[in-house]
Amino acid sequence: MLRPHLDDFFKRVGHLYEVVIFTASLKKYANVIIDVIDKYKIVKYRLFREQCSLIHQTYVKELKK
- Using H for helix, E for strand and C for coil, what is the string for the chain? CCCCCHHHHHHHHHHHCCEEEECCCCHHHHHHHHHHHCCCCCEEEEECHHHCEEECCEEECCCCC
Above 80 in pLDDT, residue 65?
Answer: no
Single pTM value for the model = 0.81
What's the confidence (pLDDT) of residue 61? 92
The letter for the amino acid at 60 is V
Q: Distances in Å between the alpha carbon of 9 and those of 6, 50, 59?
A: 5, 27, 28
Q: Encode pLDDT of 1-54 as tens digits.
A: 889 999 999 999 999 999 999 999 999 999 999 999 998 999 999 999 999 999
Count the neighbouring beta carbons within 10 Å of the beta carbon of residue 44. Answer: 11
pLDDT band with cut points at 50, 70 and 90 for residue 64:
confident
